A and B are shown apart, each in its own frame.
Chain A
Amino acid sequence: MPDTMNVAPAAGAPIPGPAVEETEQSILSGARRAHQRRTRNTWLLRLALVVVWLGSWELVVGLGWIDAFFYSRPSKIWARLVEWFTQGTDFGTIWLHIWVTVEEAVIGFAIGTAAGVVLGVLLGRSQYLADVLAPFIKAVNAVPRIVLASLFVIWFGLGLTSKVATVVVLVFFAVFFNAFTGAREVDRNLIDNARILGASKGQVLGNIVLPSATSWILSSLHTAFGFALIGAVVGEYTGAQAGIGFLIANAQGTFDTAGVFAGMIIITVVALLAEWGIGRLENRLLRWRPNVGAIAAQI
């Protein structure tokens, strides 16, 4: 192989080394600095995006290019928020409205999640039951369930119950399908192994199926709580005497666009807080999973 003879000296030619030799310490501190720089730049860019967005909105309204009456402006929305939190709304303190909405969402979320998990796991483990009920579940899922909110107001009145009912029907399906898939995807080996180790049917369900489906169920809770807030707000919007949805409906009735935006922002903050809480819960319950933090951070 004469080729190797020709190539070898070229490949072995001296490669210019780094001017300063890297020590363990310099590598670590370099990595840390790069990370800090990256985090700082990310936040600066985010801030810049918000400033550009809100600033241009404020600007085009100020220039009269769009009508403040229809589109409102950031300063006005901020003023409305400050007013709500300092002097209260036209219908009592803002905290009462936040509390009403959160209460409806949380109660409905709890009931809907419990029902979704129980029925999902049950059908996930029983092929026969799943086959029997499949067309009904598909049909009910295809119904635009948000419309049920108006029925619930007729049935249960303007109070808490009608909102909770709306939330439950929204949350249930979000959780149900994940619990169903989770229970169905359980590793056959794990079940066989547990049975050999002496587990009864109930023990297999509690010790293998449920923990196994947990990651599926938990990941559905993020969307499910979003649905819960939507359900509560839409329910209030349809007919209520208190709650953020009620405030928004009221603001709409008086052409108060700033009020609608202010209500939206409050709901958004509540949703973000809930999202954070669910993320914490997920990390706690899924400690056994590799890199769960990294996965959650990507979303």
Chain B
Amino acid sequence: MSPPDRPLIELIKATKRFPGAGGTVHTAVRELTMAVAPGEFVAVVGPTGCGKSTTLSLVSGLQPASAGQVLVNGTQVAGIPDGVGYMFQSDAVMPWRSVLDNVASGPRFRGAGKAEAREQAADWVDRVGLAGFEGYYPHQLSGGMRKRVALAQTLVTSPRILLMDEPFSALDVQTRANMQDELLRLWAGSGAAVIFVTHDLDEAIALADKVVVMTTSPATIKDVYPIPLPRPRAVEELRLTTEYVRIYREIWESLRVEVDKTRQRGQVGSVAHA
């Protein structure tokens, strides 16, 4: 474990630019500075399409930063750092593998034997509540169950950093609340640092220790709010507490300005953006 004064993830004035349409350069995130301590749960909220996902790509090493620094465990990110898990917005489970083999993929890629990998996988399949579904193929499962497979697939590699890109956005409201509870339960024992990207403020507050509000694109950090709600939390009940409502109002005031900006820009320049 790194000493507490040394954050696990550090972004220092990180900027990411892409070549955009028509010979322009699109800036996805600009001069982003944030830090995540070991075991800390950080939610990143911002208007749709502002560049939240790009932040995760930078930390995961899937994309290099154009400027600034991205540090994981004190060293500059070049390639995928050790101990990173990533849950994608859309389904990323392999449709041609059974639930068990999907979950066993990580250990298998990392050189574990088939029996050993399956043993680890079976344990996690059980922990995410899919015992009995080991032999099913993803298309035979519901959306929520597929998310559980993805969660097990990520957690089986015991990541110290968990990057989550709106993982539950495609689920219906009840399943989503369910998965949020599940995530909190599984995360509680892992000690992993989480960056959870979402456009759902409810979700951000219910899950995180700290909510980061991003500006409209090019994204940078606008405000950071600590969430002093006690753990363990039960997502559905939490939403009814006065403390929760107070925090929600406060953050929403900040977020609303950015959402409005995005909306106006969308109306004026929707053609240019498309």
Interface residues, chain A, with chain B CB atoms under 8 Å away: 187, 189-190, 192-200, 203, 207-208, 211-212, 214, 286-290
Contact = CB atoms under 8 A, between A and B. Distances in A.
A263 B175 CA distance: 62
B255 interface: no
Contacts of A200: 109
Q: How would you classify the secondary structure of chain A's contact residues: helix, strand, loop or mixed?
A: helix
Nearest to B89: A189
Interface of B: 60, 62, 80, 84-86, 88, 90-92, 94-98, 105-106, 109-110, 137-140, 153-154, 157
A224 B86 CA distance: 40
B105 A194 contact: yes
B106 A197 contact: yes
A192 B109 contact: no
Contact of A214 (B80, B90, B96, B137): B96
Given A198-B157, A207-B109, A287-B137, 18 more contacts: A189-B91, A189-B92, A192-B88, A194-B109, A195-B80, A196-B60, A196-B80, A197-B109, A197-B153, A197-B157, A207-B105, A211-B94, A214-B96, A288-B96, A288-B98, A288-B139, A289-B95, A290-B140
Contacts of B154: 197
Nearest to A190: B92
A60 B22 CA distance: 69
Contacts of B84: 196
Given A208-B94, A211-B94, A289-B95, A193 B86 contact: yes
Contact of A196 (B85, B90, B137, B138): B85
A187 B62 CA distance: 15
B96 A211 contact: yes
Given A196-B60, A198-B110, A288 B95 contact: yes
Contacts of B138: 288
A192 B95 contact: no
Contacts of B88: 189, 192-193
28 contacts: A187-B92, A189-B88, A189-B90, A189-B91, A189-B92, A190-B92, A192-B62, A193-B88, A193-B92, A193-B153, A194-B105, A195-B62, A196-B62, A197-B105, A197-B153, A197-B154, A197-B157, A198-B109, A198-B157, A199-B105, A200-B109, A207-B105, A208-B94, A212-B96, A286-B96, A288-B97, A288-B138, A289-B96
Residue among A192, A193, A196 with the most chain B CB within 10 A?
A196
Contacts, number: 62
A198 B156 CA distance: 12
Given A192-B86, A195-B80, A288 B157 contact: no
B139 A290 contact: yes
Contacts of A192: 62, 86, 88, 92
A203 B138 CA distance: 21
Contacts of A199: 105, 109
A100 B157 CA distance: 54
A118 to B, nearest CB: 20
A185 to B, nearest CB: 13
B192 to A, nearest CB: 14
A217 to B, nearest CB: 13
Complex A-B, nearest 5 residue pairs according to Cβ-Cβ distance, in ascending order:
A193-B92, A198-B109, A197-B106, A199-B109, A288-B96
A200 B110 CA distance: 9
A196 B110 CA distance: 11
Most interface-central of A193, A287, A290 (chain B CB within 10 A): A193
Contacts of B109: 194, 197-200, 203, 207
Contacts of A197: 105-106, 109-110, 153-154, 157
B176 to A, nearest CB: 20
A198 B84 CA distance: 10
A197 B157 CA distance: 7
A196 B83 CA distance: 9
Contacts of B92: 187, 189-190, 192-193
A205 B228 CA distance: 46
A101 B212 CA distance: 70
A190 B88 CA distance: 9
A208 B92 CA distance: 11
Contacts of B91: 189
> Which of A200, A207, A214, A287: most chain B Cβ within 10 A?
A207
Contacts of B153: 193, 197
A208 B109 CA distance: 12
Nearest to A193: B92
Nearest to B163: A196
B63 to A, nearest CB: 10
A189 to B, nearest CB: 4
Nearest to A290: B139
Contacts of A288: 95-98, 137-139
B206 to A, nearest CB: 25
B237 to A, nearest CB: 33
Contacts of B110: 197-198
A198 B106 contact: yes
B85 to A, nearest CB: 7
Nearest to B91: A189
B114 to A, nearest CB: 13
Nearest to B165: A189
